[in-house]
Amino acid sequence: MQPATMKVLKIDFEKCTGCRLCELVCAVHHDGVSNPARSRIRVVKWESEGLYIPMACQQCQDAPCMQGCPVGAITHNWEQNRVEVDYGLCIGCRTCVAVCPFGAMHFNTIDRKVIKCDLCNGDPQCVRFCEVKAVTFVDAGDESLARQRTAARRLHTAEGKAAALL
Amino acid sequence: MGHTGEKQSAAESLRKTRTFGKVRCHNPSCMGRITPAPGAQRVRCPTCGMEYRLIWVNETLPRIRGPVWETNRKIAQQAWARRQAAAKEVK
Amino acid sequence: MALNRKIAYIDLSTNTVETRPIPLEIRKKFLGGRGLDAYLLYNHAPAGCDPLGPENVLIISAGILTATCASASARTHIMAKSPLTGLLGSTNMGGFFAPELAWAGFHHLVIKGKAAGPVYLFIHNGEIEIRDAAHLWGKTTTDTQWAIRSELDDEEVKSCVIGPAGENLVRFANVMTGIKNAGGRTGMGCVMGSKNLKAVAVRGTLDIRLAHPAQALDFNKKFIDQITSAKVNQIQGKLGTPFIWGATNCWGGLRTNNFQYNQLEDADDIEPERLDEIATETMGPHHMAACFGCQVHCRAQYKIPAGPYAGKYDEGPEYTSLGAFGAEAGCRSAVTVLTGNHLVDQYGMDNLETGSLIAWAMELFEKGILTARETDGLDLRFGNDEALLEMVHRICARQGWLGDTLADGGIPAAEKIGNNAFDYLIQVKGMNNLHSDERATPALALNVATSSRGSDHLRSRPAIDLYHLPEEVLRKIYGTPVPYDGPLSSDHTSYTGKPWMVFWQENCYMAVDCLGICKYHTVFLGATLPNFEDWPRVIELNTGLKLSPTDIWQIAERGNMLERLFNLREGLTRDDPKKGDTLNHRYFDEPCLRGAPDVIGLSIDRDRFNAMIDEFYEIKGLDKNGLPEPRTLERLGLAQEPSHQL
């Protein structure tokens, strides 16, 4: 059955100020503690260039973590639009950590288990706290619209310039 | 916890005193609020005559970018001359 | 728990490390951050010690709320006896160092002794290692940080470091973290240099348990709204602190040509909006960056658009750089400001002190007190951008007679230069004033004169005095949490009620520095921002510590008094022009020549200023000479200090 909406985390890294509040609130929400090592979202930085990029699980449709899991502990929850770990089955082998192309599956050394974004059951705290809207929660079908609009405008401008050259 | 439902802090209660769409003349005895026309690039204080260049941080938040130098320099020179004259009189 | 973060005592002479918990009783008296630093300094630095000797103690700390779910709890505090002033050395910076220190298990590092050769500390989840830093010596502040990350093979390591200025013992060398976050004032980088300590690197993944996590999370959302809804923070988020410079220059509150004028006319190229345009052109529309957990994002990213450093990336400039490399030197070029800012960031040198000393030297050059002989041929006139930047290089490298002389700080330099050079030095307690001119603002003049770390705007400045808020609004702010029914004036040129406002702000800022949060999140530039009444909840939800607004007030008052005790012990006397609660004579003798019509002709009235000092002392519980009354020390629980409990 097709769900009414399919919401995903949309990351607009150009807007990220690098404050890492998303990491803090993620850990506080899930584990009740402050510790970015427990965060499911992480801001990757190149400080010498002023570049900050929040990285989180893409909730892939054909998820490598799911494919790689030897005990079938990772499944797709279509209702929540997320890839999730069944900790009753998980053996802690970290194969999922190794195969995730985004580095978005983490191993939490304190609890000795893998952790990943669960979209906070529909109310992502990183989105709630990001005032600059570098992380938003949007329908997957709409994710490309803003980018498309920007590109269209760019095309139009280029067209104008090209016309002026003729 | 027992804190919920307590009266507002002084700081929070002052939120209602915020004004929008206005700037304050920087001259100490004026300090009156001036309401520039929305989007206006310049504004003049009706009291002291100082003139300011404006920017708009957002639609309701104008900010004085800087003085209109030629106007304000003239006003400053006149003020200095008045002070000098007053000082002479006292002597 | 935030409260279980420890103190580490590190002796670089003996290579020993000892860690201790912080007893709850001490927490309740001093909280953490700057307040507890003051306790540690007063107890561990021997009276009269040489600031550059192994006996001086360098303390690096996080606040009690650091890295908890409290907005913008990012501040690092650093304290030692100052090699610039011989009194309290104290500085505070944003960035990401303090939270990492807290995740690594510590709130305070007490660093003693002197290493035989260059070293750096690596602190990782409760472990402290003293490592060789010979290969880092000579590196700039950013190169040092990247080299440490590469050596430790960990991109998440956060370091506070010194640059070449600290190594060369420039008396106002700073401590840097990240690209531009600077513990700038009072020469704490010089103290690090004297200990052969190039850097302190930290990496932590230890849990900080929160007392009431779910509620702390929700409360933080509300707190952030209180902070970001303030108009001033919306402006900060666009223009950063330069907006303050722009506003101040409008009416004539800005030191220009050292202290000859109070406004830089035709300064359009270095107006905050112009700098914002350059940041947009070089880094795109989303060029504002933030410290840990902060939604104000007041730090601009930029690339220098032209000149010999074109294309170099840096952050800021803060408003102080607009003074230092702009108005004070009579310069009007954005490229100069952005380049000067970049140089001091890379060298690890306080921008305020650097710019102010060069501007002073420019005036001495203009007056003929310094000549081309002392400047090694440099044409050090006001408005000479190249000479200004050349002096930055020379001071850092202690190159040439003047570079070496200025690197020792204003008062030693004045003594070496001779004549009446000292008369032109805009300093308090041996530390130069920032770029602001307080001749039209008695409250601000009182603030710089009495600040515990020398001339300064972040210890007790009632900046909202400039907004002419209605008296009832002022009463609401300044009448809580301790009732005040004395006079108050909305007029910033008045002397009425200002001592109380300065006292209130002194306590407010001390509390903020104990909590480890940023001053843009309290009553510094906005009246609606959190303060004493708003803090108990955030403290309790995060740490479990139950404190009332008046408890916090008293802790702050205690911390301030302890700083005063330290200064008195190290030689502060009320009227000493070099170590006292005094101002340069020009504040009283030379009127403002520029700015708004009502500002023209103003200067500080000497008698009224002295009356303000008297009143301020009385409010603080000091006698006429500025010494604490015995009952004041009793009341604040300081009669037994130093008590050596930690």
pLDDT in tens, C411-431: 999 999 999 999 999 999 999
Cross-chain Cβ contact C268/B66 below 8 Å: yes
Give the C-alpha separation, B73 to B79, whole Å.
Answer: 10
Mean pLDDT lowest for which of C69-73, C107-111, C461-465, C497-501?
A: C69-73
pLDDT at C433: 96
Cβ of residue C289 closer than 8 Å to a chain A Cβ: yes
Distance from CA of C2 to the nearest CA of A (A): 9
Q: In chain B, how many domains are there?
A: 1
Chains B and A touch (3+ CB pairs under 8 A): no
What count of CB pairs under 8 Å joins A to C?
A: 95
- At B62 the three-state DSSP class reads strand
pLDDT at B4: 46
Cross-chain Cβ contact C207/A38 below 8 Å: yes
pLDDT at B3: 46
Cross-chain Cβ contact C250/B12 below 8 Å: no
Fold of domain C442-635: 1.10.599
* Tokens describing residue A138: 């949007």
Cross-chain Cβ contact B27/C480 below 8 Å: no
Portion of chain C with pLDDT greater than 90, in percent: 99
Q: Are C443 and C465 in contact (CB under 8 A)?
A: yes
Chain C: residue whose CA lies nearest to A46: C155
Domains parsed from chain A with CATH numbers: 7-165 (3.30.70.20)
| pLDDT confidence tier of residue A158, bands split at 50, 70 and 90 | confident
pLDDT at C365: 98
Distance from CA of C148 to the nearest CA of A (A): 14
What's the pLDDT tens digit per position in C587-618?
999 999 999 999 999 999 999 999 999 999 99
Distance from CA of C317 to the nearest CA of A (A): 14
Q: Span C319-347, mean pLDDT?
A: 98
pLDDT at A2: 60
**Chain C residues with CB-CB distance to B69 below 8 A:** 265-266
- Pick from C479, C492, C541: CB nearest B28: C492
Cβ of residue C96 closer than 8 Å to a chain A Cβ: yes
Give the C-alpha separation, C159 to C326, whole Å.
Answer: 30
- Pick from C210, C224, C291: CB nearest A34: C210
Nearest Cα neighbor of A11 from A117, A128, A136, A153 is A136
**Chain A residues with CB-CB distance to C294 below 8 A:** 19, 21
Cross-chain Cβ contact B28/C493 below 8 Å: yes
Chains in contact with B, counting 3 or more C-beta pairs less than 8 Å apart as contact? C
φ, ψ of residue C174 in degrees (nearest 5): -110, 180
The string of DSSP letters for A25-92 reads HHHHHHHSEE-GGG-SSEEEEEGGGTEEEEE-----TT-HHHHH-TT--EEEETTTTEEEE-TTT---
Burial of C222 per CB tally in 10 Å (0-12, 13-18, 19+) = middle
- Looking at the predicted structure, is the pLDDT value of residue C455 above 70? yes
Instruction: Report chain B residues touching chain C, CB-CB < 8 A.
Output: 1, 3, 9-15, 17-18, 24, 26-31, 48, 50, 52, 55, 57-58, 61, 63-67, 69, 72-73, 75-76, 78-80, 83
Q: Are C200 and C120 in contact (CB under 8 A)?
A: yes
Distance from CA of B76 to the nearest CA of C (A): 5
Burial of B15 per CB tally in 10 Å (0-12, 13-18, 19+) = middle
- Pick from B1, B9, B79: CB nearest C600: B79
- Pick from C67, C213, C289: CB nearest A18: C289
pLDDT at B89: 81
pLDDT at C379: 98
Task: Compute the Cα dihedral for C635, C639, C640, C642 and give only its sign.
Answer: positive
Please give the mean pLDDT across all residues of chain B.
Answer: 89
What's the pLDDT tens digit per position in C159-174?
999 999 999 999 999 9
pLDDT at B31: 86
- At C584 the three-state DSSP class reads coil
Interface test with B, best of C238, C250, C534, C541 (most B CBs within 10 A): C250
Please give the mean pLDDT across all residues of chain C.
Answer: 97
Q: Residue C186 carries which DSSP code? A: G
Residue B8 lies in a domain: no
How far separated are the first and last CA of chain A, in Å rounded? 53
What is the C-alpha R_g of chain C?
A: 23
- Pick from C67, C155, C228: CB nearest A34: C67
Residue B63 lies in a domain: yes
pLDDT at A5: 75
- Taking domain C2-203, whether its CATH number is 3.60.9.10 is answered by yes
Distance from CA of C496 to the nearest CA of A (A): 41
Chains in contact with A, counting 3 or more C-beta pairs less than 8 Å apart as contact? C
Domain boundaries, chain C: 2-203, 230-432, 442-635
Mean pLDDT lowest for which of B12-26, C5-19, C196-210?
A: B12-26
- At B5 the three-state DSSP class reads coil
Cβ of residue C288 closer than 8 Å to a chain A Cβ: yes
Cβ of residue C175 closer than 8 Å to a chain A Cβ: no
**Chain C residues with CB-CB distance to A15 below 8 A:** 286
**Chain B residues with CB-CB distance to C256 below 8 A:** none
What's the pLDDT tens digit per position in A26-51?
999 999 999 999 999 999 999 999 99
- Looking at the predicted structure, is the pLDDT value of residue B6 above 70? no
pLDDT at C183: 97
- Taking domain C230-432, whether its CATH number is 1.10.569.10 is answered by yes
**Chain B residues with CB-CB distance to C540 below 8 A:** 1, 3
Interface test with B, best of C231, C266, C496, C552 (most B CBs within 10 A): C231
Q: Which amino acid is at C63?
A: G
Interface test with A, best of C69, C144, C342 (most A CBs within 10 A): C69
Question: In terms of DSSP H, where are the helices of C270-399?
Answer: 272-283, 319-324, 334-347, 351-367, 385-397
- Looking at the predicted structure, is the pLDDT value of residue B88 above 90? no
pLDDT at C389: 98
* ipTM score for this prediction: 0.96
Chain C: residue whose CA lies nearest to B66: C250
- Pick from B3, B18, B79: CB nearest C537: B3
Distance from CA of B10 to the nearest CA of C (A): 6
